[in-house]
Structure 1
Amino acid sequence: MVKEMATVVAVDGDKAWVETTRQSSCGSCESSSGCGTATFSKVLGNRPFRVQVENPLHAKIGEQVIIAISENSLMKGAVLLYMIPLLALFLFALIGQWVMANWFGSVQEWVTVVAGAAGAYAVVLWMKSKGWFEQQEMVPVITEVKAQYFVTMD
């Protein structure tokens, strides 16, 4: 299980909205000064990331919780979100190039780029229409509610 600390910001029945802070390991890396990932991380900053999760423990707004998702679900999500659209981009770019070469006798690079982008976009829309991104197993779950201690001054 991949786990992350989060704060509950809204509750809606058996679901909750939680916020986590984007984290980067760039601070501990020796080559962070010349790295594109470090630059990208600095641009994004540490803004909170909000996600909807299952709330079987009935956590309340303001509570610190641990959210988790299985490694298998995380890998499946990565394949759905990155690999399939990337393969579609290459496939449709090749089809666009082949059509231009065989039907029109010349290859226009912009047609290849547009065909690839349109194909990737169409595949993502098709996957979304089939509900591939909303599978129950790919939703993080609150697995632990951290105790909060309040200090009162009498």
Structure 2
Amino acid sequence: MISGRIEEGVVTELLNNNYANVKIPKKTSCGLCDHKGFCNPFGKDHMVIAADNKLKAIVGQKVRIEVRAADEGKAITILYVIPLIAMFIGALIGNALNLFENKDASAAFFSFLFLVITFLAIRYYSRTKYEKNISYKPIIIEIL
């Protein structure tokens, strides 16, 4: 079993398939995290997580959840570093190919193209590896 962080929040919405949205204040969920700026760089004071609701918590109840995420560093690398590298490679290829008789336009086009392809690949990877694997899902472990 993967152990994770224990967080407290309030159920805000019941979802299909025995899940519930839980609103977690950032002071408990992100206050000590080195990567807190990446989750929401615009400064919201909370985040909402869809958690497994086998305990049948209802809207408005305070709950304790276990966030069983694998490696936060890996997630940040996949979401931020890989697309940046793909954009750089796309710009280099576009500059070398010079398709539009303008190296800057070609570099910009290929940079954007590689970025889109990378995000689609990340989405596919996420769906196949993480969305169906319950060991990566947050779970409500206690109703307070």
The two structures have a TM-score, normalised by structure 2, of 0.66
Q: How far apart are 1:76 and its partner, in Å?
A: 4.1
Q: How far apart are 1:135 and its partner, in Å?
A: 4.1
Q: Are 1:7 and 2:6 an aligned pair?
A: no
2:34 — aligned with what? none
Q: How far apart are 1:9 and its partner, in Å?
A: 1.0
- Deviation digits for residues 65-112 of structure 1 (CA, Å, limit 9, x no counterpart): 222223525444333322332232222222212222xx678632x432
In structure 2, what residue type is equivalent to 1:116? S
1:58–1:73 Cα change, 3 Å? farther
Q: CA RMSD in A?
A: 3.2
Alignment gaps of 5+ in structure 1? 26-36, 147-154
> In percent, how many aligned pairs have the same letter?
22
1:66–1:79 Cα change, 3 Å? farther
Q: Are 1:19 and 2:23 an aligned pair?
A: yes
Residue pair 1:17, 1:52 contacting (<8 A) in 2 also? yes
Residue aligned with 1:44, SS = coil
1:139–1:61 Cα change, 3 Å? same
Alignment of 1:1-150 (within 5 A): 1-12=4-15, 13-23=17-27, 44-46=43-45, 48-100=46-98, 107-108=103-104, 110-129=105-124, 131-132=127-128, 134-136=131-133, 137-146=135-144
- Deviation digits for residues 105-124 of structure 1 (CA, Å, limit 9, x no counterpart): 8632x432332232112221
Count, aligned residues: 129
**Distance of 1:2 and 1:116 partners within structure 2:** 37
The two structures have a TM-score, normalised by structure 1, of 0.63
**Distance of 1:115 and 1:126 partners within structure 2:** 16
1:106–1:9 Cα change, 3 Å? closer
**Distance of 1:116 and 1:135 partners within structure 2:** 31
